[in-house]
Amino acid sequence: MDLRELRAALERWSERGLIEPEQARAIDDFETIDAEPELAAVAAGAPSDAAPRWDASGVLAYAGVLVAFGAVLALYLTVFPDSAAVMRVGVAVAMAAIAAALGALAARLPGGGRIADALGLSFALLVGGAALVAFDAAGWLEGDREGLRQNSQLRASLALSAVAMGGAAWASLRWLRSPLSAAPLALASIALLGVIAWWIANPSDDDTGRSPVVVMTYAGYALALLAVLRPLPAALGVEGSARGWFTLAALGAANITALMLAAEFGGAHEGLLLAHAVVQLAVAVWRGGRSWLALGALSLYEYVAIVVFRTFEGAVAAIVVLPLIGLGTAFGALAGQRVGDALRALGRSRGGGGV
């Protein structure tokens, strides 16, 4: 039995309840050490952002569940907004409960892990949405620049909704074994820290200001770095492919907020966006990880785009120059790779024909 067959068997035995998930992971790690050097490095602690293996059935399973989730959400947004508050809250809670029940059922079915994974993600998002619906029905989402009490209610509702979504994501990780749920766990953590910063920095105004966005930016980078260094406790379930989704969500959120700061405030924030790109690329070289590499490259080109548009003051010339820069560097990287391959091949041929 090769490593892939073993992992499929372990997943099947775990889904059937024959062994505990912790035992399955321990066996996988043990066998990986004797398999391939690259996989052994991962088992020894090297980071891996690898998402679950994709095939036709896996793509259809994920896509089908997420399309159903989107359809139900669209139905709720179009049909129920004008309903009574009790009806809206009841429907939101019912959708979350149905997602949890279906996820628990799918987790027990042979080969149902992917469906449970997508349903776990849906459950976490629906719980966060249900909390917001409940606070909206209670009138807590109505911020008022002159009402400190209402502003406190607004912040409290957002903070508690983030806690609810994070708790649901943790439950999905633990009981539905949904690696995708690590993404809303990271997003909920970042949102909670941002709301707390907003509460502290600007308690009497519903204008968020700059401070919460800065906090969310560096909270995202910090959480992603924690995932790379692996100090996150196993009790959270943030390991394996879940660690990749957690890292991707944290870096993605940080990228968005860093771009907002650079575009809105310019100055030092533009330079920081470039620094973020350099640090992410350095981490990708140091520890590996496709999330760090992809988001670092994206941050770099966001910085270039901002500089180009500010230089040309948003003129049509910027729209022409920016694609030329992007395509030029892309083809330049390809040419550099070809030259590097040729030089390495030349070095090997000379070394082999010498001694």
* pLDDT tens-digit series, residues 121-147: 999 999 999 999 899 888 888 755 455
Of the two residues 238 and 304, the one the predictor is more confident about is 304
How far, in Å, CA of 265 to CA of 120, rounded?
38
Q: At residue 48, does pLDDT exceed 90? A: no
Helix, strand, coil percentages (3-state) for the chain, rounded to 5, are 80, 0, 20
Amino acid at 156: A
pLDDT band at 39 (very low <50, low <70, confident <90, very high): very low
Alpha-carbon gap, residue 277 to 298, rounded angstroms? 8
Going by pLDDT thresholds of 50, 70 and 90, the confidence category of residue 326 is low
Span of 151-165, 202-216, 217-231, 256-270 with lowest mean pLDDT:
202-216
Of 97-111, 271-285, 319-333, least confident by mean pLDDT is: 319-333
> What is the pTM (predicted TM-score) of this model?
0.74
pLDDT at 50: 44
Nearby residues of 196 by Cβ (< 8 Å), 6 or more positions away:
159, 215
Per cent of the chain over pLDDT 90 is 24
CA–CA gap between residue 325 and residue 327 (Å, rounded): 6
Query: Tell me, what DSSP letter sits at residue 65?
Result: H
DSSP secondary structure letter of residue 51: P
Token pair for 245: 């989704």
The pLDDT value given to residue 300? 87
State the pLDDT at residue 73. Answer: 73
Residue range 262-267: average pLDDT? Answer: 85
d(CA 232, CA 237) in angstroms, rounded, equals 9
Q: Does residue 45 carry a pLDDT above 50?
A: no
